[in-house]
């Protein structure tokens, strides 16, 4: 079964599907009059919009797809489902579904707001995880600076070029992840643009 990029846009973002892996059926979601209907890995359910307790939007690149977004939707009774913006097509191809994902997430928020939801809306990583990432990056920056200074002192200019090139590539790759995933709250009428494709 091939999941199309439109994410089944038929009813203005009212349904969406993606393949989380090559094995198994697609994860399917639909926004009905009653609530969020979902079918994931042989399980299914219907969550009323006012029973959704939280949504966390984040940017989650992987090696096969550097432009991948994620929405974690939590229920008041403890369940949680993940909705990804990419879908496995073949063993070597993970395809983006940007329009379908964005339309579905925007419509989900609109319907929750209309239902008077009091869900906690957060963006990015958890605060502790984010601080851990920043500490790790600071330690790495100090280590790289030490290596750069040592390479300059001993006149190893090939090493200097390698360190500068590696640092630039690392900052480009990781900088976007850190910037987009800064922990924050948002409201139903102001979704974070950086966390929607």
For residue range 162-181, list pLDDT tens digits in order.
989 988 888 887 888 888 89
Higher pLDDT, 11 or 64: 64
What is the CATH topology of the domain spanning 9-123? Answer: PH-domain like (2.30.29)
Separation between Cα atoms, residue 23 and residue 97, nearest integer Å = 19
Q: How confident is the model at residue 41 (pLDDT cuts 50, 70, 90)?
A: confident
Of 173, 181, 187, 175, nearest to 112 by C-alpha is 187
* Structure tokens belonging to residue 111: 């319907």
* Structure tokens belonging to residue 118: 């009091």
DSSP state of 5: T
Give the contacts of 185 (CB within 8 A, at least 6 positions apart). 120, 121, 122, 123
Higher pLDDT, 7 or 180: 180
For residue range 106-125, list pLDDT tens digits in order.
999 999 999 999 999 999 99
Separation between Cα atoms, residue 186 and residue 122, nearest integer Å = 6
Do 29 and 3 contact (CB within 8 A), yes or no?
Answer: no
Do 122 and 185 contact (CB within 8 A), yes or no?
Answer: yes
Mean pLDDT of 42-48: 91
């Amino acid at each position: 079964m091939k999941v199309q990029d439109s994410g089944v846009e038929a009813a203005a973002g009212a349904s969406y599907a993606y393949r989380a892996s090559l094995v198994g059926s697609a994860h399917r979601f639909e926004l009905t009059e009653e609530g969020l209907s979902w079918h994931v890995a042989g399980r299914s359910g219907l969550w009323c919009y006012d029973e959704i307790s939280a949504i966390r939007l984040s940017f989650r690149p992987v090696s096969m797809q550097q432009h991948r977004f994620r929405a974690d939707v939590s229920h008041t009774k403890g369940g949680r489902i993940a909705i990804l913006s990419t879908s496995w097509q073949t063993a070597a191809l993970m395809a983006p579904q940007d329009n379908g994902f964005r339309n579905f997430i925007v419509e989900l928020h609109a319907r929750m707001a209309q239902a008077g939801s009091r869900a906690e809306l957060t963006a990015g990583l958890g605060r502790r995880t984010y601080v851990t990432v920043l500490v790790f990056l600071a330690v790495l920056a100090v280590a790289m600076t030490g290596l750069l200074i040592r390479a300059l002192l001993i006149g190893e200019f090939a090493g200097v070029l390698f360190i500068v090139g590696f640092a630039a590539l690392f900052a480009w790759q990781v900088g976007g992840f850190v910037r987009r995933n800064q922990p924050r709250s948002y409201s139903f009428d102001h979704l974070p643009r950086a966390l929607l494709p």
